[in-house]
Structure 1
Amino acid sequence: MCTTCGCGGSEVKIEGHDHDEGNRRHRHGDESQPAHVHAPGMDGRRMVRIEQDILAKNQRHADANRRHLAERGIFALNLVSSPGSGKTTLLVRTVEALQHRLPVAVIEGDQQTARDAERIRATGVTALQINTGKGCHLDAHMVGHALEQLQPAVGGALFIENVGNLVCPAAFDLGEGHKVVVLSVTEGEDKPLKYPDMFHAADLMLLNKVDLLPYLEFDVDVCIDYARRINPKLSVLQVSAIRGDGMTAWLDWIERGAGLASAAIR
């Protein structure tokens, strides 16, 4: 996985953030980490040390982000999925509905382009794009810089849409309150068994695109059973961003969490 492949050392672009510090490029991740350290000949113990160092460094940044968010009563969600799950469309519908109920901000993560941030901003909600370059996930250091730039409102909700990837984001805490995994019914009901780390790390699974179920051979009960074999405590909501199924329950879940986060600072 990417904790040992070196993708964390790729250059990152954050909208509005100057990465030229002292005439040298500012790199996110472990600067001392060689690229592709899983190459043949790499000593296994060294690989383990590198992985532990990367995750420990990330955890320090994540803990700082979590304190920052908690002190401001901000309810932060890390949205994770494979590419094509409908995560961005679901997020657009979500912020459209929430923005008149509570302050909302979004951090978007993609390898390239600001297309998703532009889609969010078109709703009137503030969004900041992080481009990870060759990196396959966001990390807590990137998110910390984004928080400095974005300055989400006290007592609001922050959505972090991670890079589309069901593997590496599972290992990287960003300082969020919850990981929310979005699984489309077009992907197959066995995804939780194939990518168990992500479903184990998540607190909520949004089973998306349920409006397409009449046209697919997809067993909802089997999918949920597989997911709860991995994570018995996993909550599940069935949603459709297009037709609106389950959106009330999803929005209520967010508002309850945001209310608790806000109440903690009163």
Structure 2
Amino acid sequence: MAGLRVPSVLVTGANRGIGLGLVQHFLGMPAPPQWVFAACRSPTGQRAQELQRLASKHRNVVVIPLDVTDPASIKAAAAQVGEHLGGSGLTLLINNAGMVILNALEDETLEAMTRVYTTNTIGPLLMGQAFLPLLKKAAQGSPGSAMSCSRAAIINMSSDGGSISSPAGWDLMHVPSYRCSKAALNMLTKCQSLRYKEDGVLCAALHPGWVQTDMGSSAGHTPPVTVDESVRGMLKVLSSLSEKDTGTFLDWEGKVVPC
């Protein structure tokens, strides 16, 4: 993480699991971000108590109400972040919010597919659109700098379950709506990388591993990777990303995941 210097970062789904772990690790950096925007749907809810505790201890943490399935909520969040940043841009957007519905293929429904796809794929699309002006401003604030997560970047939290050529974990969970949404997210990441390259914004998809979170444990199995291990690994990966990596799909150890 020595090469990662992030003046500002926004993490969605920041009230628990990987999102909360990311916030904690950003705060624990030798040179923490000036602004850590921690976004979640219910900032005052029971599941956000630890996040609120962090915000009370760290003046650079701003808890943002955000529902990534609601365009109005996204627009309001972008405006709030912009106000805090003043004339500066947003360095790093991590689209971490996600959901899974444990349906087998024969039980999949229109409602479930739509809910999961809206959260896992359309949400990151809308977030990228809404926060692009702030990301561009961050990139423009570092003229001459190479593309990196320390300049301006969008990181989409994907899954190896979205790999078409290597459908990991099929025997444990079918979850076709989740798999399809992550496969689509990988393509969205590629599209963002091609379009936003001209703006100096690096875009990549990350597989965090099978992590010990509520979502990771939802099928009744204990995942092998802790939140701490996953986040440490991903931040190391982020510190190494450069222009050659934009549009790629990597795991928490920096290995390329087949699409």
Q: TM-score under structure 1 normalisation? A: 0.42
Higher relative contact order, chain-length normalized (CA < 8 Å, sep 6+): 1
Q: Considering fraction of residues, name the structure with more strand.
A: 1
Q: TM-score under structure 2 normalisation? A: 0.43
Q: Is the radius of gyration larger for structure 1 or structure 2?
A: 1
